[in-house]
Structure 1
Amino acid sequence: MTTPQDNYVTQASGPLEGERRLFIDGQLVEASDGGLFENIDPSTGESAGYAGNATEEDMERAIRGARRAFDEGIWANDPDFRSKCILQLRDALVEEKERLRRIVVTETGSPIALTYSVQLEQPLEELAFWAKMAREFAYEQEWSPTTSRGALSRRRIHYEPIGVVAAITPWNYPLYLNVSESVPALAAGNAVILKPASLTPWSGLELGRLAAERTDIPTGIFNVVTTNTVEVTEMLTSDPRIDMVTFTGSTSTGRRVLASGAPTIKKTFLELGGKSAHIVLDDADLTEVLPAAAVMCAHAGQGCTYSTRLLVPRSRYREALPILKAVFDNVIVGDVWDPSVIQGPQASAKQRDVILSAIESGVASGARLLTGGHAIEGLAGYYVEPTVLVDVDPHSAVAHEEIFGPVLCVIPYDTEDEAVEIANATIYGLAGEVSSASDERALAVARRLRAGNISVNGGAYFDVSTPLGGYRQSGIGRRNGEEGFREYMELKSIGIPSRS
């Protein structure tokens, strides 16, 4: 894999014009009324260009085309063809990787260093996994015979695609999430309508362009529709011709998606917010464990699985604070085109202001600023200082509500039981961490945490083959792996008389 130093893309690599056309029913088209909306570069606060602003008429054409393509076409019944098309899309994305890198950095404000992992390189690698899954998944499985009313029957379990899937994706890791929400659904045999976030439209529209120009995906099977209008987006969640909605974003918006789909009882897959806790046990080596806490500043803290609460034994609290201050004071913030930078701007001025307000709320509730806490002066764009709040009341809003910024809340605890209680005392349950001198001790605590993804002593769970999802109000369902593939299918049980 290349690194930023091997291939240093710069903002000055020439004019960047992202795709503005929608991809609807096999055609790259302007919005029906010619409407556009602005795409803002958050590192400068200036316009980067425009994207098509779909109307209700445009979305209606996408829904109608996807429904027809699924109901009348061969896509659902030809896994080898699906695999071939996904590999074609993978090859096209790889060939245009450097253009995509510039688009991701420009519209997300992500440091370029992150495009050599989850922001770009990782999703390109993952397409091969889904192409293989399409070919090799056991769509029909023989189960043991059963006897009913004195007759012996064979049983089969049959998996088939749900139908038309609407994928509504967020702005923090747009290319990765556009791929991870639409490609598995396509691989499973569904038609897909992708609605990218309005803050990052190009990362989705480029997928539509490449699918149109470089793949054999049938007309109507894949559609990409951008809009900044809530009413147009909500057509996807309420229309009875949509069989499933997959949504990644905030819990508040997830509730709205769920409610909108309820009248038609459509399947809804949700990956929502988090307020993950990292429990540091009293035998941990603080000089080894605590520096990793600053990882949550990557991409300005705009990651749902980041551990934004740090639980430290009260007996070692004073020892921990100077280590944390030194680490956060040395986070490299600034020019997103500089490969040494890990923290860029917040996604928008609104997001920056929400974070600053949350910090103020934390201080008002009794927390103390160890470092940071303000907007960064002297930088264009929407930058917030890496921030550590200490002496945080575990019952306060700042300890319970997702901030989605570079803000760490440090909470002291007295006993292991109290640490587990604090970690579990939120509406969320997406991720968490436990650190100890003993893997077994840390694992025992990890089993008590009500969260879907736990790192023990720095161990990694994040991989395309590993299920990812949350408990409680962090979501419904799992992405990735065979479990994630099944999310996009219906299960049919079949009984057959045994003639033997």
Structure 2
Amino acid sequence: MFGNAPSPLLLDGRLEPGSGGVFDTLDPATGEVVGQAADARPEDLDRALAAARRAFDETDWPSDVKFRAHCLRQLRDALRRHSDELRELTIREAGAPRFLTFGAQLDGPVADLGWFADLAESYAWETDLGRAEPMGMASHRRIVREAAGVVAAITPWNFPHQINLAKVGPALAAGNTVVLKPAPDTPWCAAALGVLAAEETDLPPGVLNVVTSSDHGLGALLTADERVDLVSFTGSTATGRAVMTSAATTLKRVFLELGGKSAFIVLDDADLRAACSYAAFAGVTHAGQGCAITTRVLVPRDRYDEAAAIIAKTLARLGPGDPSDDRTVCGPLISAAQRDRVEGYLRLAVAEGGVFACGGGRPPDRPDGFWIEPTLITGLTNDSRTAREEIFGPVLVLLAHDGDDDAVRIANDSPFGLSGAVHGSPDRANAVAARLRTGTVSVNGGVWYGADVPFGGYKQSGIGREMGVAGFEEYLETKAIAEGA
């Protein structure tokens, strides 16, 4: 898609180099430089914001629902035409296992653009409240929903297409203009979106701007800029706090999808082997680099050792492996910095009294790239830091529970509340799921991901919802109009 040239910025409808030159993007499986991306500086961001502001304030983009839906479907179709190229790019830049690109890493979020186009066309933009006489004055009242304005979309590296499109899709469908600032680790995935938007859609200049940069400080500039009406951020809870603080200076709206330390609960009437095998698979998919991945596995105390043996045996079969291989579940970590972070938690686990039932370090047969073995830690309790803090690696902590009530207590004893899973007889599993303080729950392997399903968390896992009608409405304002009758 980029040939041998660096990927460009998308500024006001034009593909351009960055004022800061270029920066490298790496293959996390090998550590090798695979190419370069345009390195934006504050002056580039300023141009993007000016373009987005002008496109919102001075064009009919916010009011032309039919045209917006048309452009979104064009973008979906362009991404589909280039899916083979994008698939290889995603595997190489994000280290995503190939099998995931047929789901949430590429094909799923591309298809979701069509759902948001359909929603924009069918949505009730105006609600007639009819006539009333408040304080004796006859009035005809109606409620109008309209776009929030300029959206700053700040995204991480772990599921780049899914998160980029989960913000860009509904924001554009709702009539906003967007400045997308992706993570420095995966600039190509975002730049490809910009290239296709510029070359293969009718999106007007300034409606979508893509600003790649090695400078994390550009995100802070976005959140504080008075031209931005809404910040949509996905990332760590610590950074989310900083985003919220910065946005408060101008009292702009924020959507925050943050961290998690989700529990996978196995009840005493579950099929232990099936449930624990599934927990192992779910916990180390994409090397555990997902905010909603279930990394605390809670099992009945009297079957703890048996569960540990099942999970350890399953993890040993799951990787790590080359992400380009169809059979790989657990690929590399995204960077050396992320690998160092995970290794720090592995050392902490030992200091806290934990034992590695399997894994615990770098795979000896993969000296290049950023790898950690699928790891199971036993012997800890839920008050350990290893069990409470988000590691973002292929590391599971096995905890014991003493029945349904105790399992709920342990699962909810967390600063996070993003996701969860329960395996057991349907009635009991659903009863436990109803008591979990989380935004999503899988019961007996159910899959909650989908364009129509709102995603987000309780507590320190974030504010608001992404996807679904609720996610679409995050990008809308509500206006009440009363006409004298």
**Global fold match (TM > 0.5):** yes
Q: CA deviation at 1:144?
A: 5.7
Q: Is the 8 Å Cα contact of residues 268 and 403 (structure 2) preserved in structure 1?
A: no
In 1: Cα distance, 2:74 partner to 2:55 partner: 20
Tell me which residue corresponds to 2:74.
Answer: 88
Number of residue pairs aligned between Structure 1 and Structure 2:
483
Tell me which residue corresponds to 1:350.
Answer: 337
Tell me which residue corresponds to 1:121.
Answer: 107
Cα distance per residue 1:42-92 (max 9 Å; x no partner) = 000010111011011111111111101100001001000001111111111
Tell me which residue corresponds to 1:494.
Answer: 481
Q: CA deviation at 1:441?
A: 1.2
Determine which of 305, 309, 327 is the counterpart of 1:318. Answer: 305
Determine which of 376, 392, 395 is the counterpart of 1:407. Answer: 395
**Matched residue SS, 2:127:** strand
Q: CA deviation at 1:200?
A: 0.2
Give the partner amino acid of 2:339: R
| Structure 1 residues 177 and 161: CA distance shift in structure 2, 3 A | same
Q: Is the 8 Å Cα contact of residues 365 and 393 (structure 1) preserved in structure 2?
A: no
In 2: Cα distance, 1:300 partner to 1:293 partner: 13
Q: CA deviation at 1:28?
A: 0.6
Tell me which residue corresponds to 1:367.
Answer: 354
Tell me which residue corresponds to 1:106.
Answer: 92
Tell me which residue corresponds to 1:215.
Answer: 201
Please state if 1:267 is matched with 2:253. Answer: yes
Q: CA deviation at 1:218?
A: 0.8
Tell me which residue corresponds to 1:426.
Answer: 414
Q: CA deviation at 1:177?
A: 1.1
- 1:210-249 matched pairs, under 5 angstroms: 210-249=196-235
Tell me which residue corresponds to 1:398.
Answer: 386
Farther-moved stretch of structure 1 (145-154 vs 425-434): 145-154
Q: CA deviation at 1:130?
A: 1.1
**Matched residue SS, 2:162:** helix
Q: Is the 8 Å Cα contact of residues 222 and 228 (structure 2) preserved in structure 1?
A: yes
In 1: Cα distance, 2:138 partner to 2:396 partner: 61
Determine which of 162, 165, 169 is the counterpart of 1:183. Answer: 169
Cα distance per residue 1:415-451 (max 9 Å; x no partner) = 32222111111110000011112x1211111111111
In 2: Cα distance, 1:311 partner to 1:495 partner: 55
Cα distance per residue 1:369-402 (max 9 Å; x no partner) = 1110011122121111110001222101001000
Give the partner amino acid of 1:413: H
Give the partner amino acid of 2:10: F
Tell me which residue corresponds to 1:10.
Answer: none
Please state if 1:56 is matched with 2:42. Answer: yes
In 2: Cα distance, 1:268 partner to 1:102 partner: 33
Give the partner amino acid of 1:389: I
Q: Is the 8 Å Cα contact of residues 391 and 412 (structure 1) preserved in structure 2?
A: no
Give the partner amino acid of 1:488: Y
Determine which of 335, 358, 374 is the counterpart of 2:322. Answer: 335
Q: CA deviation at 1:136?
A: 1.4
Farther-moved stretch of structure 1 (355-364 vs 318-327): 318-327
Task: Tell me the TM-score normalized by structure 2.
Answer: 0.97
Please state if 1:481 is matched with 2:468. Answer: yes
Give the partner amino acid of 1:104: T
Farther-moved stretch of structure 1 (360-369 vs 466-475): 360-369
Show structure 1 runs of 5+ residues with no match.
Answer: 1-13
Determine which of 420, 423, 427 is the counterpart of 1:440. Answer: 427
Q: Is the 8 Å Cα contact of residues 267 and 403 (structure 2) preserved in structure 1?
A: no
- Spell out structure 1 runs of 4+ moving beyond 6 A: none
In 2: Cα distance, 1:458 partner to 1:336 partner: 24
Q: Is the 8 Å Cα contact of residues 53 and 227 (structure 1) preserved in structure 2?
A: yes
**Matched residue SS, 2:445:** coil
In 2: Cα distance, 1:332 partner to 1:359 partner: 18
Tell me which residue corresponds to 1:42.
Answer: 28
In 1: Cα distance, 2:219 partner to 2:307 partner: 46
**Matched residue SS, 2:206:** coil
In 2: Cα distance, 1:39 partner to 1:273 partner: 25
**Matched residue SS, 1:273:** coil
Q: CA deviation at 1:199?
A: 0.1
**Matched residue SS, 1:297:** helix
Tell me which residue corresponds to 2:186.
Answer: 200
Q: CA deviation at 1:359?
A: 1.4
**Matched residue SS, 2:189:** helix
Q: Is the 8 Å Cα contact of residues 319 and 374 (structure 2) preserved in structure 1?
A: no
Tell me which residue corresponds to 2:372.
Answer: 384
Q: Is the 8 Å Cα contact of residues 287 and 323 (structure 1) preserved in structure 2?
A: yes
Give the partner amino acid of 2:313: A
Determine which of 301, 308, 324 is the counterpart of 2:288. Answer: 301
**Matched residue SS, 2:249:** helix
Q: CA deviation at 1:214?
A: 0.9
Show structure 2 runs of 5+ residues with no match.
Answer: none
In 1: Cα distance, 2:348 partner to 2:473 partner: 42
Q: Is the 8 Å Cα contact of residues 388 and 408 (structure 1) preserved in structure 2?
A: yes
Q: CA deviation at 1:183?
A: 1.5
In 2: Cα distance, 1:174 partner to 1:385 partner: 23
Give the partner amino acid of 2:239: T
Cα distance per residue 1:97-121 (max 9 Å; x no partner) = 1111111011111111211111111
In 2: Cα distance, 1:265 partner to 1:152 partner: 35
Cα root mean square deviation, aligned: 1.5
In 1: Cα distance, 2:391 partner to 2:467 partner: 26
Tell me which residue corresponds to 2:55.
Answer: 69
Tell me which residue corresponds to 1:256.
Answer: 242
Q: Is the 8 Å Cα contact of residues 6 and 35 (structure 2) preserved in structure 1?
A: no
Give the partner amino acid of 2:165: V
| Structure 1 residues 16 and 355: CA distance shift in structure 2, 3 A | farther
**Matched residue SS, 1:309:** strand
Q: Is the 8 Å Cα contact of residues 332 and 340 (structure 1) preserved in structure 2?
A: no
In 1: Cα distance, 2:106 partner to 2:330 partner: 17
Q: CA deviation at 1:16?
A: 5.9
**Matched residue SS, 1:347:** coil
